[in-house]
Chains A and B, each alone.
Chain A
Amino acid sequence: MLQGLYHPKTVDEATALLAQDPEAKPMAGGASLVAMLNARVIEPAALVSLASIDEIKGISVLPDGRIRIGAFTRHRETAECALPLGAAAAVRQAASLIANATVRNMGTIGGAIAFADPGLDYPPALVAAGAEVEIASPSARRIVPAREFFVDWYLTALEPGELVVAVLLPRPSEKAHGVYIKHARVAGDYATASVAACRLGDGSVSVAVGACGPTPIVDDAANALLGTDRSAAAIAEAGALLEQLADPLDDVRGSADYRRQLIPRLLLRAIRTLEAAEGGKP
């Protein structure tokens, strides 16, 4: 059994440590994990800090043009990323709306998505933008589409002992663009509901709804409809399709019914904002 705080220097060292002791917890920025320690929700005897692993820090462009955001990249860095991101501009916008400047200095993209709180800003943006998640185990690496990564309430495709290594954003194209619209009670709160809307490189439209069920809501029929018709009537119809798939919580941030009503309204705003962003391009 491990005890205390570990600082592995590589992903392999980290996964080897986690394989030794299933009770040990990996720790990224700590923004969620330390809050849980403080609340005594978890009391692990060992923590494996990922802060010394250079391979999972920062944003880079891969040889094939995809953009790789290392798991230990703070929200601030993602929010300030100066690269053209195409559809994944929605991911950058989501990062800029997380909590507040101080928390964005601490939290990381890998820690956030591994925690998979349904109210987070990243999941709908990653799903709509067609991002992928790179995962490491002691024996292998694998890549899972964001749409399959989020499985259920606070549950992801990660198997015990696996770590998120990076988020991979599709190669940005001239045509692609993305927006993220968040509705929250006050600035910096978790979303009551949110919508990410992207025009992908192949010209199709991809939308995902956040905070209205265990995982981001996606509907292929709604996407197909929005790809050909962006009239108010078509957006209302697509909104109704997404609303049918919603399974929102009734909580302090809004009743389930209120959240359902937000979906078509936020979708309309997201699509119109996307059009404006596209229109603004040379």
Chain B
Amino acid sequence: MMSANRQITLMVNGSASEAPAALHDTLLTVLRDQLQLTAAKRGCNQGVCGACTVVVDDRTVRACLSLAQNCEHASISTLEGLIEQVPMQALQRAFAKNGAFQCGFCTPGMLISAYALLKHNPEPDTSAVRKALSGNLCRCTGYTKIVTAVQEAAAALRAEVVTP
């Protein structure tokens, strides 16, 4: 690597973490290889598959297309940091109940994209779910069970809101 490592500070899941990062190191590399946060997966490393999807400053991004050094003043959430959230737990339960995965490699990215969808659309129809997950590839399930799971989670969350 031609560029020297630099010690950077990332705000990940609510706490500051220090890690060395070279100029070309992506956020994904630092999360997985330095901070041992391995929920985000390295699939294509080209921004196509969506397995590395994380949340940066309230927007989903591809961790593999984000330079780590460029994320220094941002607030980063990975799946590890979102599992206590009620909507994420509803999604996880619905994925498990529906068998919405086989190998599980795409699941963290699917969960984060679905979480981002439910945040601004609590009652997505099938087409809205498919659109929201269109940047996440799954080579096992054929997507049907994933779409069902997201809609079930949305319904469960709506029920929770109206039932005290």
Contacts and interface: CB of A to CB of B under 8 A. Distances in A.
Interface string B81-98: 000000000000000000
A49 B61 contact: no
B32 interface: no
Interface stretch (A30-38, A145-153, A159-167): A30-38
Given A38-B46, A101-B60, A49 B135 contact: no
Interface in A63-109: 76, 99-103, 105-106
Nearest to B135: A100
A106 B55 CA distance: 12
A5 B67 contact: yes
Interface string A1-44: 00111000000000000000000000100110011011100010
B62 A45 contact: no
Contacts of B2: 43, 45
A34 B3 contact: no
B66 interface: yes
B23 interface: yes
Question: Which bracket fits the contact residues of A?
Answer: 20 to 34
A188 interface: yes
Contact of A102 (B3, B23, B61): B61
B64 interface: yes
A103 B62 contact: yes
Nearest to A188: B134
B23 A4 contact: yes
A5 B26 CA distance: 13
A277 interface: no
A103 B23 contact: no
Contacts of A157: none
B46 A101 contact: no
Given A4-B3, A34-B26, A38-B26, A105 B67 contact: no
- CB-CB nearest 4 A-B residue pairs: A100-B135, A105-B59, A102-B60, A34-B65
Interface of A: 3-5, 27, 30-31, 34-35, 37-39, 43, 45-47, 49, 51, 76, 99-103, 105-106, 186-188
21 contacts: A4-B3, A5-B70, A34-B64, A35-B46, A35-B47, A38-B45, A38-B46, A38-B64, A39-B45, A43-B24, A45-B3, A47-B67, A99-B47, A102-B50, A102-B53, A102-B60, A103-B47, A103-B62, A103-B65, A106-B65, A188-B134
